[in-house]
Amino acid sequence: MPREKFKTLTEQMFYVLLCLTDECYGMDILDRVPTMTKGRVNVGSGTLYNLLEQFLNEEFIAETKVEGRKRSYILTDKGREILDKEYNRICAQVDDYRLVFNKEDSK
- Nearest-angstrom CA–CA distance, 90 and 82: 12
Helices (H), 8-69: 11-19, 26-36, 45-58
pLDDT at 33 (0 to 100): 96
Q: Which of 10, 63, 46 is nearest to 18 (CA)?
A: 10
pLDDT at 36 (0 to 100): 95
Are 28 and 15 in contact by the 8 Å Cβ rule? The answer is no
pTM: 0.87
Per-residue pLDDT tens listing for the chain (107 residues): 555 778 899 999 999 999 999 999 999 999 999 999 999 999 999 999 999 999 999 999 999 999 888 999 999 999 999 999 999 999 999 999 999 998 765 55
pLDDT at 65 (0 to 100): 93
SS3 44: coil
DSSP for residue 2: P
Domains of the chain: 11-101 (1.10.10.10)
